[in-house]
Amino acid sequence: MPQRHPSAQKRHRQSLKKRERNRDVRTEMRHEIRKVREIIAKGDGTAAVAEIKSAMRIISKAASKGVIHRNTASRYIARLSKRAAATSASA
């Protein structure tokens, strides 16, 4: 920590903690999205619909924590839902 002021040092420590938390949430969200996309690619519509619920929960939680913007979260959810619906309809 190169800062000299105690308040700057504290802020730097806080930012490191926040960055670590945000990275964990973002990683979990990306893994969940990847899992849903893989299920959709396999063509398993019923599993995709079931898995998308947990993905929606994690994406919404990331948005509420401020890790991603709420419009971004809505976009992710809408696109995953659209793909899952198309897969379940064709199956």
Tokens 């995953």 correspond to: 80
**81: pLDDT strictly greater than 70:** yes
What would the mean pLDDT of 58-79 be, rounded to a whole number? Answer: 97
Average pLDDT over residues 2-20: 92
**Cβ 80 vs Cβ 36: under 8 Å:** yes
Given 1.10.3720.10, 1.10.3210.10, 1.20.1250.20, 1.20.58.110, which CATH number is that of 7-90? 1.20.58.110
Nearest alpha-carbon partner for 27 in 64, 80, 68: 68
pLDDT of residue 66: 95
Q: What residue ranges do the domains of the chain occupy?
A: 7-90
Record the pTM. Answer: 0.85
Helix (H, G, I), strand (E, B) or coil at 14: helix
